Structure 1
């Protein structure tokens, strides 16, 4: 049985609505996966997709959306806000994390 933890991130109402619509009827990948991946000169990049629950995942209920995050990624997602924008030619998910400023 999976345990539900306090989420390190949040989904806006727009993002949650779009994800809920995309998840409808998805039996093979019934969770929204949010994570990070290493990326060259610009550091880490956020990633988002649909997946099944794995052994190394934490499960969260965020705005009514079942979200999974690899245990090792949680610390990099603290304070993240995921939004969905649909303005003219700009449509898609947007990541905002004021706590992820580059120190140097």
Structure 2
């Protein structure tokens, strides 16, 4: 379903351990650039969540997001002017072409 690189797991595990929380990854309807991924910390899973385990990291996924996360790889990138999490979805064909006017 979802792949998280070792580098991303390491960073996320540290963040979640500090807060004694699990990571929630969800998918929201996006703008013209397609779907948007959201990450947040939560204390407990909801009754219908799928709970994925990556080492010490627990990832919560709600049922509507499950199908959109199939084949997605989450990586942590620390290069250039910033660092952050990068979602790679090989099934996402549409990219924003509206010259920065996405809302």
TM-score tier by shorter-chain length is: 0.7 to 0.9
Structure 1 unaligned segments of length 5 or more: list them. Answer: 1-7
Quote the residue 1:26 is aligned against.
19
- Residue 59 of structure 1 pairs with residue 34 of structure 2: no
SS, match of residue 19 in structure 2: coil
Structure 2 unaligned segments of length 5 or more: list them. Answer: 95-103
Paired with 1:55 and 1:26, the residues of 2 have a C-alpha distance of 21
Q: 2:74 aligns with which of 71, 82, 99?
A: 82
Paired with 1:42 and 1:88, the residues of 2 have a C-alpha distance of 23
Give yes or no for contact 1:81–1:96 (8 Å, CA) kept in 2: yes
What count of residue pairs does the alignment treat as equivalent?
93
Quote the residue 1:43 is aligned against.
34
RMSD across aligned positions (CA): 1.4
Q: Deviations along 1:5-57, whole A, 9 cap, x unmatched? A: xxx10110110000011011423xx1111110112322211111111311221
**TM-score, reference length from structure 1:** 0.80
**TM-score, reference length from structure 2:** 0.81
